């Protein structure tokens, strides 16, 4: 049940080095709340997500809505999770929004445990500041067909500071390549976003 955070880790460790350069050169808002996407999951959403995921592992198709994904993320949180209070919202235009609070002190050990550079994570933490919770927001679109990922990252904000599009484009291929490898290792070959749901093909 930790796969959502594996995917988020890829986004965090590639985008954050770019974003923090802007963060330290601007006055941060000192806001300590993540952007509210209006998703309010309950116990039934978590139960539904767990049942669907279990069925998917047995070879069934599965689809997850915003509340189910958000409930899954909340349930997957541990004392080591770097992104907390996360919400996921799937929109009518098939875009996906992710918001949460980045716990800076957790980033370095989490990155190391996932195979990312501890030195890079340490540099990010030093720039953002230790013992902080920094609002993070990502909006993207995409899908996966026969193991080929197509991802378009439309917006990234760190503490309300937007990352320019050209900086995101510079990292697009790297993000797609690593995410595709992660998804394939977890037997995910097909992903569709439609009707406000993320749909997984059979593993």
What's residue 66's pLDDT? 97
Query: How many domains, in total, are found in the chain?
Result: 1
**3-class SS string, 131-189:** CCEEEEEEEEEEEEECCEEEEEEEEEEECCEECCHHHHHHHHHHHHHHHHHHHHHCCCC
* pLDDT, block means (10 residues), the chain with 203 residues: 53 58 52 88 97 91 95 88 92 94 84 72 74 87 88 84 77 79 82 93 80
Please state, as a whole number, how many other Cβ atoms lie within 10 Å of the Cβ of residue 112.
14
Please check whether residue 182 is in contact with residue 7, taking contact to mean a CB–CB distance below 8 angstroms: yes
**Cα angle vertex 111, ends 115, 80, to 5°?**
125
- CA 2 – CA 87 distance, rounded (Å): 15
What's residue 30's pLDDT? 58
Range(s) of the domain holding residue 176:
3-200
What's residue 182's pLDDT? 76
Residue written as tokens 């000192």?
A: 30
Instruction: Quote the pTM value.
Output: 0.84
Core vs surface per residue 11-32: b (16+ CB within 10 A) or e: bbbbbbbbbbebbeeeebeeee
Core vs surface per residue 185-195: b (16+ CB within 10 A) or e: eeebbbbbbee
What's residue 163's pLDDT? 77
- CA 137 – CA 178 distance, rounded (Å): 20
* Secondary structure class of 192 (helix, strand, coil): strand
* Secondary structure class of 25 (helix, strand, coil): coil
What's residue 63's pLDDT? 95
What's residue 91's pLDDT? 97
What's residue 17's pLDDT? 57
């Amino acid at each position: 049940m930790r796969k959502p955070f594996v995917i988020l880790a890829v986004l965090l460790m590639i985008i954050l080095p770019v974003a923090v350069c802007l963060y330290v050169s601007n006055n941060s808002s000192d806001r300590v709340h993540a952007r509210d996407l209006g998703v309010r999951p309950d116990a039934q959403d978590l139960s539904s997500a767990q049942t669907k995921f279990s069925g998917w592992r047995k070879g069934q198709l599965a689809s997850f809505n915003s509340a189910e994904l958000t409930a899954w993320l909340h349930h997957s949180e541990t004392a080591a999770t770097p992104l907390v209070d996360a919400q996921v919202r799937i929109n009518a235009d098939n875009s996906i929004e992710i918001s949460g609070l980045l716990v800076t002190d957790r980033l370095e050990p989490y990155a190391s445990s996932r195979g990312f550079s501890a030195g890079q994570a340490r540099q990010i933490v030093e720039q953002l500041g230790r013992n902080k919770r920094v609002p993070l927001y990502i909006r993207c679109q995409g899908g996966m067909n026969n193991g080929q990922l197509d991802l378009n990252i439309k917006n990234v904000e760190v503490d309300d500071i937007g990352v320019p599009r050209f900086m995101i484009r510079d990292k697009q291929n790297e993000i797609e390549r690593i995410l595709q490898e992660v998804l394939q290792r977890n037997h995910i070959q097909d992903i569709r976003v439609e009707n406000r749901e993320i749909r997984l093909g059979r593993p």
